[in-house]
Structure 1
Amino acid sequence: MRAVIRRNKQLVCDQIDELEPGEGQVLVKTLACGICGSDLHALHHMEHMVEVSRRGGGGTMNFDPTADTVFGHEFCAEILDHGPGTTGALKAGARVVSVPATMTAGGVELLGYSNRLPGGFAERMVLTEAMLLPVPNGLPTDAAALTEPFAVGAHAVAKAHLDPNSVAVVIGCGPVGLAVIASLKARGYGPVIAADYSPRRRAAAEALGADVVLDPAKESPHGRWEQLGVPMASAAQKMMRMMGAQFGRPVVFECVGAPGILQNLIESSPAGTQIVVAGVCMETDRIEPAVAITKEVELTFVFGYSPEEFAATLDDIAEGRINVSGLVTGKVGLGEVADAFVALGDPEAHVKILVEPVR
């Protein structure tokens, strides 16, 4: 079958071995698979990503980043066949999504970061039956394929210590920032301030419900805190509480992942802010702890999602609490994936591109 393979830091469309579903597995046809920002980074820096993951106790211990890899972890698929030991509760032809991990006799394979099993940039995959979620009737395949990236935002919001009056600022409106905005609004939080230099990304943030959308080149995202009732200084906050007044806890979601962002947020955010770090900075960074200590800033680092958050995100999309219409700005076949990676380097060109292996 055909697949797009990362080989020698290049993307090559080639043939790979056919798959047979093993114990508890199903064979599926990939209908659509999103290209993730982590895929773009992994194309050229997979070795570094794996080394950092291993230092952090990640699940890539048996993965060789120099060997052939088929990316793709944001997918919607159709069941083709069932392996031994399956129940067949979901019949052939059913559309499904799944957390991108397959149980095998040798352990768990993380789809998109595996040398043994292909991810969604292949015509077919094998998935674990027990982890499948059926796509609700009427939900388009394109929308279902966005479950995985939007679950990342759901997890970040779940880790935030928001109260009903909290003001949330989202720095960066790429896929992660957009997912955070969508989850915040789906859960009724607001006001939500979104900041990004890209007009296209700001438009997407507005479409997902951000209450205030800013171009940080023209206006600081931190200029609205006091207008929205959150004092910047610790002394002003204490005085406000002494007077019996209340204000929501300020929460900032860092969704850029570039050196220098954290220090800027520590200095610019109100005292007592929780900074939820969802952007993955792959370089060594520097902060001044004394500033954060003085302001009693809390740093919370988040990654991935739980199976429950994944399932809840599918339900949010299916029930319309998260409206993903308009976010898919391009579709490509396997032979066009390499060009799509280049196109995604320009934030004005696309929001999300889906790969359709069988076109």
Structure 2
Amino acid sequence: MTMQAVILQNGGLELAEVPIPVPGPGEVLVRTLANGICGSDLHCVTHSHELAAGVRAVTGGDLLDPDRPVVLGHEFCAEVVRNGPGTEGTFAPGTRVVSPPMLARPVPVNLGFGGVEAPGGYAEYMVLTEALLMPVPDGLTSEVASLTEPLAVALHAVNRGALGDDDVPIVIGCGPIGLAVISVLKMRGIGPVIAADFSPARRALAAELGADIVVDPREHSPYDSWHEVAAVDDPARYGRQTALFPTLPFRPSVVFECVGVPGVIQQVLAGAPACSRVVVAGLCMAEDRFLPTFGVLKEIDLVFSLYYTVEEFAQTLAHLAAGELRAEPLITSQVGLDGVVDACRGLSDPEKDAKVLIVPAR
């Protein structure tokens, strides 16, 4: 039996017929209902060898083999087809599920970066680990449920920011992760939220998701906006102060860097208020440089964020199901498997789309 899948090989994407994967011990076969195209997928298409080498250098392990066909896709909602050997049958066929994109095998597989034998969501069928499955509640669409993964990334980034109730957040970059961070901040009642992006379409989405102040950095500095709204008269609400910056009558600030382009961290260090916490959520695939003096003299806390815990993933699903976390505006297009190649090309234009969903049944 074969299925359709979009495979990455030789530096490009193509639609192909591949074998339907066979579930191993403790695994289930599922049918993909919806899968989001992630920025890291696009990076993988153009920089697969650099990505593989970087992960190997940091972790000593292999994320993917760029010399073999890869089936991308790690933001998915799926439907159980059948339970494999050694499963408990917890989820009956037809049950809609989401899962952290990991196969818990003796040698774990990062779904979305594996080969055709362990495909990600750019395919009609996948295999998933039963113990990691989470049922999608009735009333939550498969499309929104597929956003659990990227929103869990945002929830983890906000957790890494350790914001207090009086912090004023600044979101730099309103791509899918920046927009998701805005949604999480608004859910938690933290604000006012300041957002900045060069794209008019993405600024409009930021406002729709709840950003209180949205600026075009070519016309207005987001840090000037912070000074305008964070000023307070009550010393009890002042943020942390230092010997070099002893009188700062402002609420604390947390800056989320959600761009992932060389040079942006330095821009943030230069512009951010003293004593800020900076959370780097943008995945930069190239070498970057910044001047530590800016961070040292301002005593800026620089925090890096990636992925989430299983608990954070489950919390995100619960927030979506309860209607507490807005996600629908993120979805700007849907395509079938035959539209993936063109959709990936189109995502280079920020005015066209934010989050494109692959719906294999289309």
* TM-score of the aligned structures, taking structure 1 as reference length: 0.94
Contact 2:244 2:297 in 1 (8 A): no
Contact 1:117 1:126 in 2 (8 A): yes
Task: Provide the residue aligned with 2:114 in structure 1.
Answer: 114
Query: Per the alignment, in what secondary structure is the counterpart of residue 67 of structure 1?
Result: coil
Identity of aligned residues (%): 48
Task: Provide the residue aligned with 2:299 in structure 1.
Answer: 296
Gaps of 5+ in 2: 232-237
Residue 137 to residue 59, structure 1, CA distance change in 2 (3 Å): farther
CA distance in 1: counterparts of 2:15 and 2:328, whole angstroms:
29
RMSD: 1.7
CA distance in 2: counterparts of 1:290 and 1:239, whole angstroms:
20
1:60 aligns with 2:68: no
Query: Per the alignment, in what secondary structure is the counterpart of residue 209 of structure 1?
Result: coil
Task: Provide the residue aligned with 1:306 in structure 2.
Answer: 309
1:24 aligns with 2:32: no
Aligned-residue offset at 1:307: 0.7
The total of aligned residue pairs comes to 352
Contact 1:60 1:113 in 2 (8 A): no
Task: Output aligned runs, 1:1-359, within 5 Å.
Answer: 1-57=3-59, 59-60=61-62, 63-104=64-105, 106-115=106-115, 116-230=117-231, 238-239=246-247, 247-359=250-362
CA distance in 2: counterparts of 1:296 and 1:239, whole angstroms:
14
Show CA shifts across 1:245-299 (max 9, x none): 7x53211000001111111111111110111000111121111112211110111
Aligned-residue offset at 1:229: 3.0
Contact 1:197 1:216 in 2 (8 A): yes
Residue 4 to residue 133, structure 1, CA distance change in 2 (3 Å): same
Contact 2:176 2:330 in 1 (8 A): no
Residue 352 to residue 239, structure 1, CA distance change in 2 (3 Å): closer
Task: Provide the residue aligned with 2:234 in structure 1.
Answer: none
CA distance in 2: counterparts of 1:322 and 1:59, whole angstroms:
34
Show CA shifts across 1:138-179 (max 9, x none): 101110011111111001000013111101000000011011
Q: For 1:23, give the aligned amino acid.
A: P
Q: For 1:2, give the aligned amino acid.
A: Q
Gaps of 5+ in 1: none
* TM-score of the aligned structures, taking structure 2 as reference length: 0.93
CA distance in 2: counterparts of 1:183 and 1:130, whole angstroms:
27
Query: Per the alignment, in what secondary structure is the counterpart of residue 356 of structure 2?
Result: strand
CA distance in 2: counterparts of 1:236 and 1:53, whole angstroms:
39
